[in-house]
């Protein structure tokens, strides 16, 4: 069985979409990978033939054990490459996802081992994620909430940001919203936007963008 770049991309997209809580069907993959429905049909047919996915009667696509193993290997390489690009080459955090998407397919097992030896696997990637996939439920269990859920007048530390949208990452970077930043919820507005205080500036942010930013609320200061 030949594992192509296309197959790897599909398997990783299935794993990542599942982690985001999506019910993965053909339309989900077309959206995540920005490909046509006929292309998804052909790809899933090949993946199913190779025993890497299963497709239920309702159209739901899930990974087999072999498919998940390939996806997790690619996700590990992606994590290591992102860290290499920021920690070794000092590339901007909002650029490294796209670079890693290209490089992850060309990394040999030997080079992956060298990266792991040099970087370790204890630190988060530049977007705030630890090694491996974490579901929304996992984040909630760690006490994290999406930014739009932060109560008014509360401070929070940005922990992670959804990394698959380069335009969003650049926009957030321009606002100063990145992992490690401290934000304060000022108000929720009637037009589905938030007003936040970031680095001394009041900035608006739409709910759709805020849903992709995960934060840890700081303890509220009780009046003495």
- Residue (of 165, 159, 180) closest to 94 by Cα position: 165
Does domain 139-217 fall into CATH 2.30.30.90? yes
CA distances to 7, 137, 144, 169, 222 from 193, in Å: 38, 25, 20, 18, 27
Sequence ranges of the chain with CATH classification 2.30.30.90: 139-217
Q: What pTM did the predictor assign?
A: 0.90
State the fold for domain 1-133: Arc Repressor Mutant, subunit A (1.10.10)
At residue 222, the pLDDT reads: 55
User: What stretches in the chain show pLDDT beneath 70?
Assistant: 221-224
pLDDT digits (tens, 9 = 90+) for 44-73: 999 999 999 999 999 999 999 999 999 999
Rounded-to-integer distance, Cα 132 and Cα 122, Å: 11
For the chain, residues classed under CATH 1.10.10.10 are 1-133
- Give the per-residue pLDDT at 224: 43
């Amino acid at each position: 069985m030949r594992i192509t770049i296309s197959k790897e991309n599909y398997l990783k997209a299935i794993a990542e979409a599942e982690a985001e809580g999506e019910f993965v069907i053909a339309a989900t993959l077309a959206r995540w990978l920005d490909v046509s429905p006929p292309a998804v049909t052909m790809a899933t047919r090949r993946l199913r033939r190779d025993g890497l996915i299963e497709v239920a009667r309702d159209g739901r696509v899930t990974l087999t054990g072999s498919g998940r193993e390939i996806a997790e290997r690619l996700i590990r390489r992606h994590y290591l490459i992102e860290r290499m690009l920021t920690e070794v080459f000092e590339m901007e955090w909002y650029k490294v996802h796209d670079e890693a998407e290209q490089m992850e397919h060309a990394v040999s097992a030997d080079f992956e081992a060298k990266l792991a030896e040099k970087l370790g696997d204890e630190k988060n990637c530049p977007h705030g994620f630890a090694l491996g996939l974490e579901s929304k439920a996992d984040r909630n269990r760690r006490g994290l909430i999406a930014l739009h859920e932060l109560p008014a007048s509360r401070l929070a530390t940005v922990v992670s940001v959804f990394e698959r949208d380069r335009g969003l990452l650049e926009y957030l970077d321009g606002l100063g919203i990145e992992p490690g930043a401290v934000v304060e919820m000022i108000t929720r507005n009637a037009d589905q936007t938030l007003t936040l205080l970031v680095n001394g500036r009041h900035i608006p942010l739409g709910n759709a963008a805020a849903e992709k930013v995960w934060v840890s609320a700081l303890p509220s200061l009780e009046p003495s």
